[in-house]
């Protein structure tokens, strides 16, 4: 996987997106140690001239930056700005633009790790001009949008499930980079960048342990066309939600009932590719004939309970999986109850089967 660098500043990020090559390889540079946990929300604006040897591009304001504490929380940012494209030779303004962006983000954490992220962006951009000019080609743009950047430690590897929504006018990108921070060099860095088309899309990314940087970029632009007479304006509403689940963690609660005879774990041990199942002494009292443990429907272990015990079964190295326990048992009766039933000519209760199952997030 190629090492890619996403600049920390929104303006630079959008410039990179709009350049001929979307991203620039990270160059090794010396830098101070990056923060261990950082959440930054930005509403931004920029302008591009298409050919900076002919025209210059300026914006009246570049960003509105808000921080969210490592414990989680919400923030919003807003920015309105004006852009100008100026002919260097004549020092006349040949095109003008405006941008307006309103962005928000909400982050929840647990145990110092990311659990969920929600990001919204409502932005618009315009561009207009008076006369045809060489520098007002279709790369001359006013750009407005937002970004949320998270630097966070990942102790437990897991999965980010990302859902994005955008209209026809905007662009949305989601990037996860592990093992580096902008301005540093790390040969172990891996990066996954996903750009989303209009509509709603869901994508799942595996996040290894270590320091991870997450970027969400959303933007719209106004632009000129090559004749300098036709202009395009755009506005869009975009949203991104991401939930993080550690590998091996149970998805929801257990389904079914085991009457307390068997307890399925809250998470599997992905390092050992195993799950530990607790069989209660109650199973022996209930005259359990056997306990059958399965993984994805395949039998993993069969045992006859005698006392409290824990058993370990293997789980898959990849893919979500379901662990199930089936117990065939007769609810325990006291000696006096059994005598009374026999004296009345009644049969003892027949064994019943109790089943419980739980699904877990993939280990890798």
* Distant-in-sequence, close-in-space partners of 15: CB < 8 Å, separation ≥ 6: 46, 48
Average pLDDT over the chain, rounded to whole?
78
Residues 262, 358: Cα–Cα separation, whole Å: 12
229 — pLDDT class (breaks 50, 70, 90): low
pLDDT value, residue 35: 57
Residue 333 burial (CB count, 10 A): 16
What mean pLDDT comes out for the span 257-268? 87
Angstrom distance (rounded) from CA 173 to CA 194: 6
- What's the pLDDT at 309? 82
Question: Is the pLDDT reported for residue 209 higher than 60?
Answer: yes
pLDDT of 171 above 60: yes
- CA 65 to chain centroid: 22
43/135: higher pLDDT = 43
Q: 């008076």: which residue's tokens?
A: 130
The DSSP 8-state label assigned to residue 50 in this structure reads S
pLDDT top residue among 309 and 72: 72
Phi, psi angles (nearest 5°) of residue 336: -65, -40
Top-confidence residue, 202 or 341: 202
Distance CA 68, CA 4 (A): 25
- Give the per-residue pLDDT at 188: 44
pLDDT > 80? residue 226: no
How large a percentage of the chain has pLDDT more than 90? Answer: 29
- Write down the pLDDT at residue 190: 56
Cα(61)–Cα(84) distance, integer angstroms: 12
Average pLDDT of the residues in 230-249: 89
Higher pLDDT, 7 or 348: 348
pLDDT higher than 90, residue 250 = yes
What's the average model confidence in pLDDT over 91-98?
86
CB atoms within 10 A of CB 52: 11
Decide if 207 contacts 165 (C-beta within 8 A): no
Decide which of 288 and 165 is more confident: 165
Question: 53: burial class by Cβ within 10 Å (0-12, 13-18, 19+)?
Answer: exposed
Express each pLDDT in 9-64 by its tens digit: 343 444 343 333 232 222 222 334 555 678 899 998 888 887 778 888 899 988 89
pLDDT digits (tens, 9 = 90+) for 53-93: 888 889 998 889 999 998 899 999 999 999 988 888 888 88
- Residue 277: which of 343, 166, 357 has the closest Cα? 357
Euclidean distance between the first and the last CA atom of the chain, given in angstroms as a whole number: 17
Three-state helix/strand/coil letters over 138-183? CCCEEEEEEEEEEEEEECCCEEEEEEEEECCCCEEEEEEEECCCCC
Q: Which residue has the higher pLDDT, 363 or 231?
A: 363
H or E segment to which residue 119 belongs: strand 113-129
**Structural element, H or E, at residue 353:** strand 352-360
Write the secondary structure of 204-269 as one string of H (helix), E (strand) and C (coil).
Answer: EEEECCEEEEEEEEEEEEEEECCCCCCEECEEEEEEEEEEEEECCEECCCCEECCCCCEECCCECE
pLDDT of residue 192: 65
Tokens 């370990």 map to which residue? 312
191/75: higher pLDDT: 75
Helix (H, G, I), strand (E, B) or coil at 66: strand
pLDDT at 247 over 60: yes
Q: What pLDDT score was predicted for residue 319?
A: 92
Per mean pLDDT, which range of 211-215, 227-231, 325-329 is the poorest? 227-231
The lowest-confidence range among 103-112, 130-139, 289-298 is: 130-139
- pLDDT of 315 higher than 90: yes
Give whichever of 40-49, 195-204, 246-255, 343-352 has the largest mean pLDDT: 246-255
Q: What is the mean pLDDT of residues 331-352?
A: 67
Instruction: Give the domains, in start order, of the chain with CATH numbers.
Output: 10-246 (no CATH), 255-360 (2.60.40)
Tell me which H or E stretch contains 284: helix 281-285
How much is the pLDDT for 89?
Answer: 86
pLDDT at 283: 74
Confidence bin at 181 (pLDDT 50/70/90):
very low
Instruction: Tell which residue, 318, 301, 315, 319, has the closest CA to residue 262.
Output: 301
Q: Are 83 and 94 in contact (CB under 8 A)?
A: no
Q: Which of 5-14, 134-143, 286-295 has the lowest average pLDDT?
A: 5-14
Identify the pLDDT of residue 219: 84
């Amino acid at each position: 996987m190629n090492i890619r660098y996403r600049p920390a500043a929104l303006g630079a990020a959008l410039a990179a997106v709009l350049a001929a090559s979307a991203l620039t390889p990270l160059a090794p540079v010396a830098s101070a140690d990056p923060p261990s946990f950082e959440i930054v929300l930005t509403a931004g604006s920029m302008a591009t001239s298409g050919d900076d040897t002919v025209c210059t591009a300026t914006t009246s304001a570049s960003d509105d930056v808000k921080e969210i504490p490592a414990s989680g929380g919400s923030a919003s940012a807003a920015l309105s700005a004006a852009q100008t494209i100026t002919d260097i030779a004549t020092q006349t303004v040949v095109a003008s633009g405006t941008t307006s962006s309103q962005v928000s983000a909400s982050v929840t954490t647990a145990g110092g790790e990311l659990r969920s992220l929600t990001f919204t962006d409502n932005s618009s951009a315009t561009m207009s001009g008076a006369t045809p000019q060489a520098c007002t080609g279709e790369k001359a743009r006013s750009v407005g949008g937002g970004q949320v950047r998270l630097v966070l430690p990942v102790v437990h590897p897991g999965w980010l499930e990302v859902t994005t929504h955008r209209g026809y006018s905007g662009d949305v990108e989601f990037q996860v980079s592990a093992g580096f921070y902008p301005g540093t060099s790390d040969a172990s860095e891996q990066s996954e960048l996903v750009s989303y088309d209009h509509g709603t899309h869901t994508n799942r990314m595996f996040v290894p342990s270590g320091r991870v940087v997450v970027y969400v970029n959303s933007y719209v632009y106004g632009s000129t066309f090559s004749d300098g007479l036709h202009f395009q304006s755009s506005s869009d509403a975009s949203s991104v939600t991401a939930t993080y689940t550690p590998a091996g963690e149970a998805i929801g609660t257990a389904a079914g009932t085991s009457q307390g005879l068997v307890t399925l774990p809250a998470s599997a041990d992905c390092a050992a590719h195993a799950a530990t199942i607790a069989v209660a002494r109650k199973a022996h009292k209930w005259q359990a004939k056997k306990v059958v443990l399965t993984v994805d429907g395949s039998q993993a272990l069969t045992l006859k309970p005698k006392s409290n015990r824990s058993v370990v079964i293997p789980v898959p190295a990849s893919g979500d999986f379901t662990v199930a326990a089936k117990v065939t048992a007769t609810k325990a009766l006291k000696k006096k109850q059994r005598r009374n039933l026999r004296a009345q000519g009644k049969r003892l209760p027949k064994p019943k089967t109790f089943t419980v199952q739980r699904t877990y997030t993939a280990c890798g």
